[in-house]
Amino acid sequence: MKFHLPAGPPDLADSRSHSDDIGRPGRRARARRELISVLNTFLGIGLFFAVWWGAASQLPRSRLVTPLDAGRDIWSNFYYSPRLGVFGLGEVGYGSLLLYTLGNVLTGLAIGGSIGILVGTASARLKLLRVFVDPVVLVLGTVPVLVAAPLFLLWFGVVPFTQVLLVALYSAVMMILFSQRAAQNINPIYERWAMTFGAGPAFRIRHILIPGTVPEIIGGLRITLASAWGLEVFAEILGAPSGLGQAIKALTNLNNVSGLLACVVIIATTAIVTDVLLFVLARRIAAWA
């Protein structure tokens, strides 16, 4: 715990006058820094798997299996898994089930997210809309949305729509919150400045509101997407025609730990990959942020 020895001096402004020092050693130092950070990440990931492995070696196989076993399980069941067919899922493997889950999550996020972004951004500007949107979002934002899952199941049956609706509802609520805040957080000085040039509402939306809110909205999408995976899988376990949630349900009945871990690993990996993709997208769209 080093409270009083910062890595660099607190005022970086003090460094500006020494630009004559920049040169080759600087580039080398920079490369070394990046190398250290990459090494750190790998060490950290290694640590995660080491802990998992260590725990698995101490526990019976009926409780926890090693990462290697989980990996093998994924490998051998990815295209076709006979044990899942028993539960009426048909000729499936983790891969096809993942496609169902992925499709539902993305559809739900796309539909709910678009509605949420539109309503949220608009409600930041239209007072009348806020009067109605805010109370609804306040309630839905603080209560567990997933209590609706059993009701949707009863009303719409064991169809993909049931899960998509749940994800879409959640995405809409979250994205209203995020985009409303994003639109409110834009410094009004920008719009006033644009107005001094005679910019009309269309111009201000196109050149200030949209670019100004995009970074926060994508940040919100990332958070929403991360939770949407869990919601989708939960809805699938409760009742769905396909999806990794159904595989989890089947494997629970079989007491198959390696299969359960395999499913969780697949979902987590997909969640991380889609998150990184959104992050890269954000970097592309809003490089200035």
Partner 1 sequence: MTPQEAILSVNEVGVRFVRTDGTPAEALRSVSFKVFPGEFVCILGRSGHGKTTLLNVVAGLLRVHRGEVRVMDRPVRGPGADRGVIFQQDAVFPWMRVEENVAFGLRVRRFSKRERLRIAREHLALVDLTSVGRAWPRELSGGMRARVAIASVFANDPPILLADEPFGSLDYVTRRQLQMVLHDLWRQTAKTVLFVTHDVDEALMLGTRVIVVKNGNIVEDRAINLPTPRTDDVIATPPGLALKHLLLRQIGLE
Partner 2 sequence: MKSGTSHLLGSITILSILILGWELLSRIVTAKGSYGEPLVPGWGYLLGNSLLRMSDYWEGGYGIPAPSQGGSATYAAALLALGGASLVTFERVFFGIVFGTLSGVGLGLLVATSNLSRRLIAPTVHIVRMTPFLAMIPLFNLWFGANTSGIILFVAYGVAVIMFIGTANAVRNVPRVFLDRAATVGANRAAIFRHVILPAIFPEIRASFLLSFGLSWSLVVAGELLGAQSGLGVIVTYALQFAYTGRVMIVAFLFIIYAGLSFALFDAVSRRIIDWHPQVDRRPPDRSLGNIKRLRNSVRRCTR
Instruction: Point out which residues bind partner 1 (CB under 8 A).
Output: 4-6, 8-18, 21-23, 25-27, 29-33
Count of residues that bind partner 2 according to CB under 8 A: 73
Q: Choose the contact partner of 238 out of partner 2, partner 1, none; CB within 5 to 8 A by kind.
A: partner 2
Of 114, 84, 111, which Cα lies nearest the Cα of 96? 84
223 is a site residue for partner 2 (CB under 8 A) = yes
C-beta of 41 vs 76, nearer to partner 1: 41
Q: Choose the contact partner of 181 out of partner 1, partner 2, none; CB within 5 to 8 A by kind.
A: partner 2
Q: Choose the contact partner of 217 out of partner 1, partner 2, none; CB within 5 to 8 A by kind.
A: none
Rg (CA), the chain: 24
Shortest separation between residue 283's beta carbon and partner 1, angstroms: 18
Shortest separation between residue 2's beta carbon and partner 2, angstroms: 8
234 is a site residue for partner 2 (CB under 8 A) = yes
What is the contact mask toward partner 2 in residues 29 to 68, using x (rule: CB under 8 A)?
A: -----------xx-xxx-xx--x-----------xx----
Distance separating alpha carbons of residues 228 and 168, to the nearest angstrom: 9
C-beta of 106 vs 194, nearer to partner 2: 106
C-beta of 30 vs 61, nearer to partner 1: 30
Q: Choose the contact partner of 45 out of partner 2, partner 1, none; CB within 5 to 8 A by kind.
A: partner 2
Distance separating alpha carbons of residues 102 and 188, to the nearest angstrom: 39
From the list 271, 281, 285, 286, which residue makes contact with partner 2 (rule: CB under 8 A)? 271
Shortest separation between residue 15's beta carbon and partner 1, angstroms: 4
3-state secondary structure 131-169: HHHHHHHHHHHHCCHHHHHHHHHHHHCCCHHHHHHHHHH
CB atoms under 10 Å from CB of 131, counted, come to 10
C-beta of 130 vs 204, nearer to partner 2: 130
C-beta of 13 vs 189, nearer to partner 1: 13
From the list 119, 229, 240, 243, which residue makes contact with partner 2 (rule: CB under 8 A)? 229
Structure tokens given for 190:
């920008």
